[in-house]
């Protein structure tokens, strides 16, 4: 996979959101911390089945990411390793993404979708993106508005999955994927 300047900026931004403690590396503990923050943000105890499933799925994302990126077996991922994995074909096609991200998004919806309507309102979206990825509320509101294609104030799992795919596979700087994690520096 060719890493364009635009994709390079997106990969750097995504790496920063994975790195919960901002130490320059992504480790399992970053995922554990992000999971705990997210379930706590929605008032779930550690023994709640939704919290357990979410944590399991989130750690599954970690396991997949770690397995294909940690080139030097130090149990952490550097920005260089993360970008190199993409250059070497970590994501050959958008469909390969679904196997990991769809179960994760389903577990996220079970935590964040308080009314169970299958959609996230702006407050739910702001809460989970702040807790999981440290997005500031103003940025999360802007992202939610961009993902809300029909203007009804709600986004679905399909909307999120499409935006995540576009984040990695689209070179459209105005598309929803480009803004998934807020404006790129």
3-state DSSP of the chain? CCCCHHHHHHHHHHHHHHCCCCCCEECHHHHHHHHHHHHHHCCCCCCCHHHHHHHHHHHHHHHHHHHHHCCCCCCCEEHHHHHHHHHCCCCCCHHHHHHHHHHHHHHHHHHHCCCCCCEECHHHHHHHHHHHHCCCHHHHHHHHHHHCCCCCCCEEHHHHHHHHHHHHHCCCCCCHHHHCCCCCC
Q: What is the pLDDT of residue 143?
A: 93
Distances from the Cα of 42 to the Cα of 31, 109, 139, 158, angstroms: 17, 11, 20, 22
Task: Spell 108-143 as b/e; 16+ CB within 10 A means b.
Answer: bbbbbbeeeeebbbbebbbbbbbbbbbbeeebbbeb
Tens-digit pLDDT string for the chain (185 aa): 678 899 899 999 999 999 989 999 999 999 999 999 999 999 999 999 999 999 999 999 899 889 888 889 999 999 999 998 877 766 555 566 677 788 999 999 999 998 888 899 999 999 999 999 999 999 999 999 999 988 899 998 888 888 988 888 889 988 878 889 988 86
Per domain, the residue ranges of the chain are 5-172
Reply yes or no on domain 5-172 having CATH 1.10.8.50: no
Q: Determine the pLDDT at residue 90.
A: 61
Torsion angles phi and psi, residue 2, rounded to 5: -85, 130
């Amino acid at each position: 996979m060719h890493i364009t300047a635009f994709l390079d900026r997106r990969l750097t931004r995504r790496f920063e959101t994975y790195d919960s403690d901002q130490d320059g590396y992504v480790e399992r503990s970053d995922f554990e911390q992000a999971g705990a923050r997210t379930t706590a943000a929605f008032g779930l105890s550690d023994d709640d089945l939704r919290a357990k499933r979410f944590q399991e799925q989130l750690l599954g994302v970690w396991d997949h990411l770690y397995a294909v990126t940690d080139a030097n077996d130090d149990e952490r991922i550097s920005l260089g390793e993360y970008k190199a994995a993409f250059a070497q074909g970590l994501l050959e096609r958008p469909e390969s993404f679904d196997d990991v991200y769809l179960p994760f998004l389903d577990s996220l919806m079970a935590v964040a979708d308080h009314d169970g309507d299958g959609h996230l309102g702006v407050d739910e979206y702001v809460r989970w993106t702040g807790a999981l990825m440290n997005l500031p509320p103003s940025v999360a509101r802007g992202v939610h508005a961009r993902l809300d294609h029909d203007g009804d104030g709600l986004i679905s799992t399909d909307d999120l999955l499409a935006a995540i795919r576009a984040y990695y596979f689209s070179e459209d700087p105005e598309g929803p994927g480009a803004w998934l994690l807020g404006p790129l520096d």
